[in-house]
Structures are given as structure tokens and as C-alpha cells.
Amino acid sequence: MTAHAERVWDVVIIGGGQAALATAYFLRRTGLSFVMLDAEDAPGGAWRHGWNSLRLFSPATWSSIPGWMMPPVQDGYPSREHVVDYLSRYEARYQFPIERPVRVTSVESLGGALRVHSERGYWDARAVVSATGTWSNPNIPAYPGAELFRGQQLHSAHYVEPQAFSGKRVLVVGGGNSGAQILAEVSQVADATWVTPTDPLFLPDDVDGRVLFERATERWKAQMEGRVIEQPVGGLGDIVMVPPVVAARERDVLHAVRPFIRFTPDGVVWTDGSETAVDAVIWCTGFKPSLGHLASLGVVTGDGRVEVSGTRAVNEPGLWLVGYGEWTGSASATLIGVTRTARSTVAEIEQFLVKAEA
């Protein structure tokens, strides 16, 4: 193990994606010393791993992190490549101190400081922000017989493009935006069946991510003020009618069936006992927080989260978590939504470190 620069940083940020960058933006304005440890080989965070045709469902101006607006696109919504380019340029613009690839393996409490370990050495810090997101921890539900299935199974995290499924019998499992968008393109080349736990919720054609963020913001404000507000149906998980999904609706393929009950070697069995031969299953079933590096602190709960007050770990006062989902701040797993929690987190860290010095 090598101690890096043999110093104690004020803050170590674990991660290099949108949540880490937003946090770094506000940290840079405090004068606190910090370093970012990114497991990826290059900028872009989880967006580097999205499928080829992935697009945001918000305009560029509503898909920006603090300080510098995402450049607009000429046609439609920003592509995955556009987002990766924006985050790369953002990182360079502010010249953040990033070391990569550094995969953090554990965090150790030293009493008054935290030691962040990786295969390349360790970094000591007075405070740590975990911003590793969820992409590296895809969720695949357990189904009886899954180990017997001889077909292909992959999660949307590893899906690239539809051509690999041409002419095959494919199940697309999951009722969110990834399921709808992947079904839309796979159904053009394959015999695709959409499997969702309940009927999918489609938003009106004129509702995009901007509207959803505004609604989430209103809910957050109401919660802070102890109010209950009535809003139109529509959450961040409902399906936005981006052009490929609209086209799928026009082809009359946006029909979902309820889940099967088990696998067979060659397919699946449905609740009525009927069987269907299947060549591949694409799991669009979301992600779980990637928090294995915090297991050594004993703060990860049975449901795979960390008990927090705001974004601060209740049982480890020098640890904050940013960007994992609603439990770390309303809309905090979105590009525009992470700004609010990144700002408040840095304000808390600054206050914490000042008190520690007093």
C-alpha cells in the first residue's frame, strides 16, 4: 500500500460521474482540499456504458449540472455521446483533481479521519463523499430455474444495440423508461415480448424530464414545509414518450404482459401453465446502490442502503452519500436534480470541518 502524497485531504470523493462532479464544483468554491477517485478509465461516469441509442428525455438546458450549461443539440434530446462529451468537457473546464482508474475497495475509520483504500494505495481524509451511483450493481430478480435457462440473459447495463437479437425470440423485462426504449428498438428486428409487473404508465406526449423535475421540486418543497400537494400523475419512473417510443406505439407494439413464474431450459412458464420458447431475456429491472466499498464501515443496512440524515451517514459522521436516488435527495440520481443535494452536502461538510477545527 502507498500513501498518496502522505497528507490528509479535507475531502475524498469516491466516483467521477455527475454526482461526483456536482459535488466537486461546490467544493472547489470552498477552498477545501479534495481529490476525486474514479474507477472508470475516462470521463463520463455511468453514461459511458449506456446503450448506443440512449437519449435523455429532457432538453439540454434541463440536463445540466451546476456552473456550466450542457451545450444544446440540433435535433431532439441529447444522446449518450453528447452527455459523455459534456461531462468530459465539464471536468476539464474546472480542472478537478481526479485520479483514474482507481477502484476503491474499502473505507476504514481511523478515529477523526477516514482512510480510503484501493489497489493503488490509500488516501486519508477528514470527510468522504461516496458518489459511486448504481450502474455497477445491476438488479436481476431471482426466478426459479434461471440457472437452467440455456438462452442469453443480460441486464440493460450491458445492452448495446438491437442487431444482436435479430430474428430471435426476446423477453424485455421491466416497465420503466429503459424497458420501453429497448423494447421499441428490439421489436423492430426480433419477436419481442414486453414483461412488466403492472401495466406501464405512459406520460402524455408533451411531458418530458423538465416537467417531471419541476414536479419533483414541488414535492420536495412541500415536504420541507410540511405540506401535502396534489399533482398530476407522473413520477421520474413513468415512461416518457420519446420519439422511438412514440414510433413503437404507432407500430402497436407497446403491449405488456404480466411476469412469468419460472424458467425452463428453453424458455419460460406463465401463470396459466403455458410455456414459451425464448432465446434471450433483457433485464430492464433497475439497479441497486453500489456500496460494497462501505461494507467495512458497518454502515450498509440489510436493504443495501446506508441510514442517512439528508445525505450524511447517521452512523459515520464523516461520510456523505450523493446521487443514489430519492433516499439521498429528491431527484438526486438525475443530472439536473443532483445540484441541490450536492450544494447542501458541501455546505454541511464545510460546517462539519470548521467545527472539528474549533
What residue segments make up the domains of the chain, in order of their start?
A: 3-137+288-357, 146-202+239-283
**Its pTM surpasses 0.75:** yes
In whole angstroms, what is the distance from residue 274 CA to residue 294 CA?
A: 44
Question: What pLDDT sits at residue 132?
Answer: 96
Whether 3-137+288-357 and 146-202+239-283 share one fold: the answer is yes
Question: What pLDDT sits at residue 213?
Answer: 58
Question: What pLDDT sits at residue 234?
Answer: 42
Q: Encode pLDDT of 2-54 as tens digits.
A: 555 568 999 999 999 999 999 999 999 999 999 999 999 999 998 898 888 88
Q: Encode pLDDT of 256-305 as tens digits.
A: 999 999 999 999 999 999 999 999 999 999 899 999 999 999 999 988 99
Question: What pLDDT sits at residue 59?
Answer: 78
Q: What percent of the chain has pLDDT over 90?
A: 69
Mean predicted confidence (pLDDT) in 180-208: 91
As assigned by CATH, the class of the 146-202+239-283 domain is alpha beta
Question: What pLDDT sits at residue 274?
Answer: 97
State the pLDDT confidence band at 115, using cuts at 50, 70 and 90.
Answer: very high
Mean predicted confidence (pLDDT) in 126-142: 93
Q: Give the HSE-up count for residue 352: Cα atoms under 13 Å, Cβ half-sphere.
A: 22
Q: Count the neighbouring beta carbons within 10 Å of the beta carbon of residue 260.
A: 24
H-helix segments, 172-298: 177-186, 209-224, 243-250
Which residue(s) pair with 208 in the sheet?
none
Q: Encode pLDDT of 197-217 as tens digits.
A: 999 988 887 776 566 656 656
- pLDDT at 356 exceeding the cut of 80: no
Higher pLDDT, 324 or 56: 324
Helices (H) and strands (E) in the chain, counts: 6, 17
- Any idea which fold 3-137+288-357 has? FAD/NAD(P)-binding domain (3.50.50)
Question: What pLDDT sits at residue 204?
Answer: 83
Mean predicted confidence (pLDDT) in 229-254: 75
- pLDDT at 1 exceeding the cut of 70: no
Question: What pLDDT sits at residue 220?
Answer: 54
Residue whose C-alpha is closest to residue 312's, from 132, 137, 128, 135: 128
Mean predicted confidence (pLDDT) in 153-160: 94
Residue whose C-alpha is closest to residue 132's, from 151, 118, 146, 120: 118
Question: What pLDDT sits at residue 235?
Answer: 47
Mean pLDDT of the chain: 89
Higher pLDDT, 324 or 330: 324
3-state secondary structure of 83: helix
Contact 87, 18 (CB under 8 A): yes
- pLDDT at 248 exceeding the cut of 80: yes
Contact 26, 144 (CB under 8 A): no
Contact 242, 181 (CB under 8 A): yes
Question: What pLDDT sits at residue 215?
Answer: 62
Q: What percent of the chain has pLDDT over 70?
A: 90
Mean predicted confidence (pLDDT) in 85-101: 96
State the pLDDT confidence band at 233, using cuts at 50, 70 and 90.
Answer: very low
